[in-house]
Amino acid sequence: MQLSSLGRFLLVAIASLLCLMPLWYYLSAQFSVPVFFMAGEAASSLFDWALSYTRNETVGVLNTTLKVVSVQNGQFRSGKLAPMVDYRMLGYGIVILWALLLASFPRHWGRKLLIGSLAMLPVQALNVAVQWCNDVLNRAGPEVFVQTGSPQWVADVVAFLYHFNLFIFTALAPVLLWLWLDREYLAKLREQARAAMAVRQAS
């Protein structure tokens, strides 16, 4: 039984994803450098409570002025809130893009792979910034939220963006980018579908 073009595309995409995931995992520390830089600069520019960021391999920490109090061994201890994000939990979308481009193999494949990879970095930086903000505004507690001086609607918007990003956008963004980069492949699929429908109607 001969596979259709769409069937071959799906098989190659899945196989490519499985093969490329270890490579991305190995290189993820390098990919995280520009991602955390953009997210950290954006956060420190937009919020007066965000001081700077630090990075250790694939983990980025946002340093803040927000005070937190914890109880350890019956003693109260205070410190500064420093939410952290592991890039490997959010950055896998770039591998999905690679797999889709390998499966469709468009013209100027190398250039589109480079453009797509670069375009994914600010998207991932936004993902990191949203998770940092959600940790501060919605997960650190009301005492920390009051210190930010933010209205409640900002926390609600951040919570929505966090869940939308976590469950939908992280995987959807590379698909949308691939659709834009390889419009010719979609046009070819539409032509094949019309041809197949014409054959069925003629028979």
Scan for tokens 């965000």, then name that residue.
50
Residue 74, pLDDT above cutoff 80? no
The percentage of the chain sitting over the pLDDT mark of 70, rounded to a whole number, equals: 90
The pTM of the full predicted model, rounded to 2 decimals, is 0.86
Mean pLDDT of all residues in 104-121: 93
- 143: phi > 0 → left, psi -120 to 50 → alpha, else beta; which? alpha
pLDDT score at 69: 79
Assign 1 a pLDDT band (cuts: 50, 70, 90). very low
Whose CA is closest to 87, among 43, 30, 163?
30
User: Three-state SS for 69?
Assistant: strand
| C-alpha distance from residue 175 to each of 89, 91, 96, 98, 140 (Å) | 18, 14, 7, 10, 33
Tens-place pLDDT, residues 13-58: 999 999 999 999 999 999 999 999 999 999 999 999 999 999 999 9
Token couple for 197: 């429908």
pLDDT score at 72: 66
Token couple for 14: 């899945």
Backbone angles phi, psi at 169, to 5 degrees: -70, -35
Our measurement of the distance from residue 110's CA atom to the centroid of its chain's CA atoms, rounded to an integer in Å, reads 22
